[in-house]
Amino acid sequence: RKEVEQDPGPFNVPEGATVAFNCTYSNSASQSFFWYRQDCRKEPKLLMSVYSSGNEDGRFTAQLNRASQYISLLIRDSKLSDSATYLCVVTSISSGSARQLTFGSGTQLTVLP
């Protein structure tokens, strides 16, 4: 079982739709949580951090449930430019004390005109 698991996707939605992605993680010692976005053949870029209290950044809302070890991302009023792969990321302290990122396999989103 992978340490971070995501909806397999792909998600194909019309412009303006609301779409939700889910992610679960297995390491209860995980400390920080993020969503990264990766466009085709490009590098991953940080989209937003995820907190237990929930956080919102414009049309994007992220939520963490530590008890269930579950992370979500909600995108409202989706735009064509939201088309990308969304990577769920958790961090833990590695043997050298750095925050090691563990990525899910990603969920591909295509927003259709």
**Which residues here bind other proteins, judged by CB under 8 A?**
4, 31-32, 34, 42-46, 49, 87, 89, 91, 94-106
Structure tokens at 45: 């870029």
> What letters, b where the CB count within 10 A reaches 16 and e where it falls short, cover 19-39?
bebebbbeeeebeebbbbbbe
Nearer to other proteins, 30 or 63 (CB): 30
Residue type, 112: L
* Cβ closest to other proteins, residue 40 vs residue 67: 40
Question: 9: closest CA among 73, 76, 63?
Answer: 73
- The nearest distance, CB 78 to other proteins, in angstroms, is 22
Shortest distance in whole angstroms from residue 15 CB to other proteins: 26
Q: Which is nearer to other proteins, 18 or 100 (CB)?
A: 100
Under 8 Å between Cβ of 10 and 70: no
For the CB of residue 52, give the shortest distance to other proteins in the complex, in Å. Answer: 15
Identify which of residues 60 and 103 has a Cβ nearer to other proteins in the complex: 103
CB of 85 to other proteins, least distance (A): 9
Question: CA nearest 18: which of 65, 86, 79?
Answer: 79
